[in-house]
């Protein structure tokens, strides 16, 4: 049973455009929602994270939008750059679970010139 569903599987965006990746979760006990960025052959690195007490969090060109009632959250990358080309994973965790993360299946983003 997949607890975090991520879409799309792949995404092509022109340089300067907005990249949007969506995730939906099922477990209402989740209280931490990070996004990880992974380059080929490397380990994932935390990009940005949000807790359900806020609806939006912005760090530079990266924004998480969170909709608690719909159990959805999304990553927006503004002014997308070729260097943003990577695989992005959403994840979720809940208190009292040793910080275990449940990951989405990933979105491969390609930013073209």
Partner 1 sequence: DGGITQSPKYLFRKEGQNVTLSCEQNLNHDAMYWYRQDPGQGLRLIYYSQIVNDFQKGDIAEGYSVSREKKESFPLTVTSAQKNPTAFYLCASSRLAGSYEQYFGPGTRLTVT
Residue ranges in contact with partner 1 by CB under 8 A: 6, 9, 32, 34, 36, 41-46, 49, 89, 93, 98-101, 103-106
Which distant-in-sequence residues (6+ apart) come within 8 Å of 10 by Cβ? Answer: 107, 108, 109, 110
- Residue placing its CB nearer to partner 1 in the complex, 18 or 46: 46
**Closest distance between partner 1 and the C-beta of residue 104, in Å?**
6
CB of 87 to partner 1, least distance (A): 9
**Nearest CB to partner 1, comparing residues 10 and 14:** 10
- Are 90 and 35 in contact, with CB atoms under 8 Å apart? yes
Cβ distance to partner 1 smaller for residue 3 or 14: 3
> d(Cα 59, Cα 43) in Å, to the nearest integer?
21
Q: β-strands 10-14, 107-112: how paired? A: parallel
């Amino acid at each position: 049973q997949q607890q975090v569903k991520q879409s799309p599987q792949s995404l092509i965006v022109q340089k300067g455009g907005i990249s949007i990746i969506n995730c939906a979760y099922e477990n209402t006990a989740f209280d931490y929602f990070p996004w990880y960025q992974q380059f080929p052959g490397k380990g994932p690195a935390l990009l940005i994270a949000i807790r359900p007490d806020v609806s939006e969090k912005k760090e530079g060109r990266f924004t998480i939008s969170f909709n608690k009632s719909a159990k959805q959250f999304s990553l927006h990358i503004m002014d997308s750059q070729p260097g943003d080309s990577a695989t992005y994973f959403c994840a979720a965790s809940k208190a009292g679970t040793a910080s275990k993360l449940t990951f989405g299946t990933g979105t491969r983003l390609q930013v073209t010139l």
